[in-house]
Amino acid sequence: MKNLYSSNLAKTTYDAIIIGSGVGGLTTAVFLAKAGKKVLVLEKHYTAGGFTHTFKRKKFEWDVGAHYIGQVNISGTRIRKAFDYITNGKLMWDDMGDVYDRAIIEGDTYNFRKGFTNQVNQIIAYFPAEEDAIRSYYALIIKVSNDASLFFCEKTMPDWLGNLIGYRLKKNFLAYSKQTTYDVLLGLTDNQKLIAVLCSQCGNYGLTPKKSSFGIHALVVAHYLEGAAYPVGGSGTIFKTMADVIETHGGIIAVKADVKNIIIKNNKAIGVLMQNGDTLHAKNIISNAGVHNTFNKLILKEFQKEENTIELNKIKPSVSHVCMYVGLNATDEALKLPKHNMWLYENYRIDESSEDRLKNKSITPSMYYISFCSAKDSNRQIRHPGTSTIQVLGAYPYNWMREWETKQWQKRGDDYEKIKEAIRLNFLEKLYDTVPQIKGHVEVCELSTPLSTKHFSGYAAGEIYGLEHTPKRFELKQLRPKTNYKNLYLTGQDIIAVGVCSAMVSGIVTAISILNRNLFWRISRYKNKN
């Protein structure tokens, strides 16, 4: 196995040890390695890349988390330039076309089109009497998204400067992030159908309108306004291209490298203790394992601090889910499968339907998300000719799987398998209703649960988005790169927000905090020679 962890790695002292190989940790590793630092990335899974990795069954391949990414389909955007920098321009993108998302609610179809003007006009066409509210809504999306830049910029500042000017930088974004998405929209319109349509992509951040922060809603909607793209070669190419840069600059990535705890001495992080007993030392320790895992698990109880844990532990883990992976023995072209994603709702009462499912422990989710991953990838037929793949996702509380959490992966017993099979058949029926032309072409159809996510990611509740994106989340002072332990830093989506791009930005701000350099300036000047 390539990059398999070896105890020989304990013979070297590093400038930085990074726990977790998600995009946040990898991005930090790229910047530190390019700055001449000796970097070691430790990944407990046998495959690196976090939620960007892919897996295969027979002749089929699926992504596990990176279903589409905004702002990379246009050269010159800050996000595209950042990806170019951290991959040395080797990561290429397939544009998803004019429509990147389609919501179907009570049989009504709503397309989300690429381009600010196109999308505004499309939504107005669906709700012509609400034109003023719709224009106000999209103007507000842009405003809050722009305000977020200053909010996150404050996280890179030293404590003294943050204390001096931080409030002024954060106040405009906090004014809206402290409100729920529903409350903000209700201030613009009382049309409940319109509110539901505007919130139909809420699965991207895992909370319904009455629970989510409008801050995260604005960030996600703005992120996709100019369309979306998918990595050529699949989402696994994100890791591969970043790993090439890290290793070219002398960095090391090790898999099956399970960290037991961070070693703290005199309030200073000096290394990590591995599950096999090895001790590795470094000048800086960066955790990309999630803030709950970091402060509650990786730091031993005798070194934990209440100022880190009391308020933090009031924020719940984000949504957990089940996902059905479908492999088909025909191409996307032959089956006329789309590139756009589908969001399927049985009615316009998003919050109420979600609550009803939670109360009744239903195997039928209130929303199904369908991603046609192979259709998005122009390279897929070269790698897997004559095939196509689909994923169907739905929320599923971890607590409903908790009775099997102590059982081994793939050995959880008949009762567990019966529930999985019932969910799989439910999802397959919904998929056949949506794209009936795939009947007779399914060769592989398997289901993962929150326990699968926990097993591979290490998140205690099988969450996929880290901390819940509630209004309270954005007020937590602990969600910044620099911790109150010397030389211990955080990175990953918890310190910024959900998603691949937010995780990448987190890696940048963490590297800024360590190197004390203006890395955004460096990114802006990067020229992609490819």
Q: Which residue has the higher pLDDT, 469 or 457?
A: 469
Q: Which residue has the higher pLDDT, 506 or 410?
A: 506
Q: Please, what's the b/e burial string for 364-376 (b: 16 or more CB within 10 A of its CB; e: otherwise)?
A: ebbbbbbbbbbbb
Evaluate if residue 386 carries a pLDDT over 80. Answer: yes
253 HSE (CA, 13 A, CB side): 31
Evaluate if residue 530 carries a pLDDT over 80. Answer: no
Phi, psi of 468 (to 5 degrees): -60, 140
- pLDDT, tens only, 463-510: 989 999 999 999 998 999 999 999 999 999 999 999 999 999 999 999
Q: How far apart are CA 195 and CA 252, in angstroms?
A: 48
In this predicted structure, what is the pLDDT of residue 65?
Answer: 85
| 137 token code pair | 């809504």
Q: Which domains does the chain have, with CATH numbers?
A: 7-52+235-311+476-524 (3.50.50.60), 126-217 (no CATH), 316-457 (3.90.660)
- Grouping H, G, I as helix, E, B as strand and the rest as coil, residue 170 is helix
In this predicted structure, what is the pLDDT of residue 254?
Answer: 97
- The percentage of the chain sitting over the pLDDT mark of 90, rounded to a whole number, equals 88
CA angle 452, 219, 312 (to 5 degrees): 55
In this predicted structure, what is the pLDDT of residue 29?
Answer: 98
Q: How far apart are CA 202 and CA 66, in angstroms?
A: 16
243: left (phi over 0), alpha (psi -120 to 50) or beta: alpha
The bridge status of strand 93-95 relative to strand 39-43 is: unpaired
| 45 token code pair | 């899974």
In this predicted structure, what is the pLDDT of residue 529?
Answer: 75
Evaluate if residue 90 carries a pLDDT over 80. Answer: yes
Q: How far apart are CA 250 and CA 118, in angstroms?
A: 46
CA atoms 344, 350, 352, 357: torsion sign: positive
DSSP at 371: E
Question: Which helix or strand (DSSP H or E) is residue 502 part of?
Answer: helix 500-515
382: left (phi over 0), alpha (psi -120 to 50) or beta: alpha
In this predicted structure, what is the pLDDT of residue 465?
Answer: 92
Q: How far apart are CA 441 and CA 328, in angstroms?
A: 5
Q: What is the pTM of this model?
A: 0.96
Exposed / middle / buried, residue 98 (Cβ in 10 Å: 0-12, 13-18, 19+): middle
In this predicted structure, what is the pLDDT of residue 103?
Answer: 98
- pLDDT, tens only, 166-207: 889 999 999 999 999 999 999 999 999 999 999 999 999 999
- pLDDT, tens only, 212-224: 999 999 999 999 9
Neighbours of 35 (CB within 10 A): 16
- pLDDT, tens only, 329-341: 999 999 999 999 9
Evaluate if residue 459 carries a pLDDT over 90. Answer: no
Of 236, 231, 181, the C-alpha closest to 211 is 181
Q: pLDDT category, 362, cuts 50, 70, 90?
A: confident
Neighbours of 410 (CB within 10 A): 8
Q: What is the DSSP string of 64-112?
A: SS---EES-SSTT-HHHHHHHHHTTT---EEE--SEEEEEEETTEEEEE
- pLDDT, tens only, 120-177: 999 999 999 999 999 999 999 999 999 999 999 999 988 888 889 988 999 999 999 9
| 152 token code pair | 């996150």
| Residue pointed to by tokens 């726990």 | 19
Q: How far apart are CA 22 and CA 313, in angstroms?
A: 23
Distances (CA, A) of 323 to 52, 368, 421, 498: 15, 10, 12, 18
Q: How far apart are CA 528 and CA 518, in angstroms?
A: 19
